[in-house]
Amino acid sequence: MKPRGYAHLSSGQLDATFTALADPTRRAILARLASGEASVNELAAPFDMSQPAISKHLRVLERAGLISRGRDAQRRPRRLEPRPLAGASQWLEGYRQFWESRFLHLDALLDEMKPTGTKRGFRKRQH
Amino acid sequence: MTTAKLKVAAHGDREIVMSRVFNAPRHLVWDAFTRPELVKRWLLGPDGWSMPVCEIDLRVGGSYRYVWRHTDGTEMGMGGVYREIEIPERVVATEKFDEAWYPGEAVGTLLLVEQAGRTTVTQTMVYDSPQTRDAVLKSPMETGVAASYDRLEALVRSPAA
């Protein structure tokens, strides 16, 4: 865990991040931008959607801070901003660790519930 | 461990999905999730917490109630009502904490799938709103981090460290 990594993230920021990620088109746009910046036309190309529809998705992503616009005034290429995504995944990691600590108890309990012979066999199988 | 690690994902904007493989047949996992005397043994949470109340009325329309108590006297309770039960593989139940910091009830689905003597447990929680889901994601994280820090502290204090 790196608590400092998400300490600065507000709940509003996470709402915006998760809401932006809830849509498959927006996730596809982010996946495309992960391999490098792209113009609105380039981003619209793989989708059967009008450019205004794509622009709407881009605005949601931009408001969530997940993408930004490049300097080139002509193309206005969009690029990925990795920080909010990292924040969202760190929160999930915290949730995961909370449950994993409980499930380790459950592992031990299940092992105990098995017939004695099986329990020994299980230990031996661990390499 | 030979078991796979826990996977957690936020699906859509209102769901959290967790899945993990346990190295045990499904009927044992089912018992561990539905028999109060067994649930109390593992659903404890971080160090310092006990689970003095664990009541399960496992039938459709029946309710369950869990209460955790910390050594400092803090108590936390939650409960809900069973909506669907398919022994030994699926349970759908509502979930609400006593001091709910979020509005409405969540609905949880527990699914157990056995393959070659191992059981994959998938828990899906659906919340009322994206805000609720994110609030839930936030709260156990803080508890979880605090607990890991406590354990870390104990470790660095021990002579072996």
Q: How crowded is the C-beta side of B35, counted as CA atoms within 13 Å?
A: 14
User: Which residues in A have their CB inside 8 Å of a CB on B?
Assistant: 1, 3, 11, 14-15, 18-19, 21-22, 88, 91-103, 105-111, 113-114, 122, 125-126
Smallest CA-to-CA distance from B41 within A122, A121, A113, A119 is with A113
Higher-scoring residue by pLDDT: A28, B28: B28
State the nearest Cα–Cα gap between A60 and chain B, in angstroms: 14
Residues contacting residue A100 through CB under 8 Å, at least 6 positions apart: B5, B6, B20
**pLDDT(B8) > 60:** yes
Rounded Cα gap, residues B134 and B24, in angstroms: 32
Does the pTM surpass 0.95? The reply is no
Q: Note whether B1 contacts A: Cβ–Cβ < 8 A.
A: yes
Q: Contact, B15 vs B124, CB < 8 A?
A: yes
Q: Which of A50-64, B27-41, B120-134 has the lowest mean pLDDT?
A: B120-134
Distance of CA B159 to the CA centre of its chain: 34
B87, burial (CB in 10 Å: exposed 0-12, middle 13-18, buried 19+):
exposed
Instruction: Annotate B92-104 with b (16+ C-beta within 10 A) or e (fewer).
Output: bbbbebeeeebee
CA distances from residue A86 to A2, A37, B131 in whole angstroms, order as listed = 11, 19, 19
Query: Is B137 in CB contact (< 8 Å) with chain A?
Result: yes
Pairwise CB contact (< 8 Å): A125 & B137: no
Q: Which residue has the tokens 């967790």?
A: B18
The DSSP H or E segment spanning B124 is strand B118-126
Q: Mind listing the pLDDT tens digit for each residue in A3-21?
A: 333 344 566 777 787 778 7
Q: Within the 12-51 window of chain B, which residues sit less than 8 Å (CB to CB) from chain A?
A: 12-13, 16, 18, 20, 22-24, 28-29, 31-32, 38, 41-46
Report DSSP state, residue A38: B
Answer for the pair B70, B44: CB distance below 8 angstroms, yes or no: no
φ, ψ of residue A77 in degrees (nearest 5):
-65, 145
Q: Write out pLDDT tens, residues B12-66.
A: 778 888 899 999 999 999 999 999 999 998 887 677 788 899 999 999 999 999 9
Cα–Cα dist B18/B6, whole Å: 7
Query: Could you tell me which residue, B155 or B42, shows the higher pLDDT?
Result: B42
| Amino acid letter for position A94 | G
Which of A19, A100, A125 has the CB atom closest to B2's CB atom?
A125
In the prediction, which pLDDT does B38 show? 92
- Closest CA relative to residue B142, chosen from A99, A6, A94: A94
Instruction: Tell whether B60 lies on the interface with A, counting CB pairs under 8 A.
Output: no
